Amino acid sequence: MPFGGGPRLCAGSELAKLEMAVFIHHLVLNFSWSLAASDQAYAFPFVDFPKGLPVAVNRLQKTGPQNLENDVVDGAERE
């Protein structure tokens, strides 16, 4: 993601980087990732997958509010 440098540095570069970080954060937390098909990678002259790298992405179930009655608070269990 090039933004240039020097006296004419892109004014939105930090905002764009922050938005990308938030986007990746939500992708990692809200989805499970797995390989859709197995493929043998080779690493000469660089890592490559002959069939590409298909990935299966599944949305994780959202959990509702937790019941905190039996949680440990300040080192002691609630009764």
Q: What is the pLDDT of residues 19-41, one digit of tens each?
A: 999 999 999 899 998 888 877 77
Assess if residue 27 is contained within a domain: no
In the chain, pLDDT over 90 holds for what percent of residues? 22
Assess if residue 78 is contained within a domain: no
Assess if residue 41 is contained within a domain: yes
Q: Which domain holds residue 56?
A: 32-61
Domains contained in the chain, number: 1
CA distance 75 to 19: 38
CA distance 15 to 17: 5
Assess if residue 36 is contained within a domain: yes
The neighbour count for residue 10, using CB atoms within 10 Å, is 13
Whether 66 has a pLDDT exceeding 90, the answer reads no
**pLDDT mean over 46-60:** 84
Assess if residue 46 is contained within a domain: yes
Residue 51 exposure: Cα atoms within 13 Å on the Cβ side: 8
Assess if residue 73 is contained within a domain: no
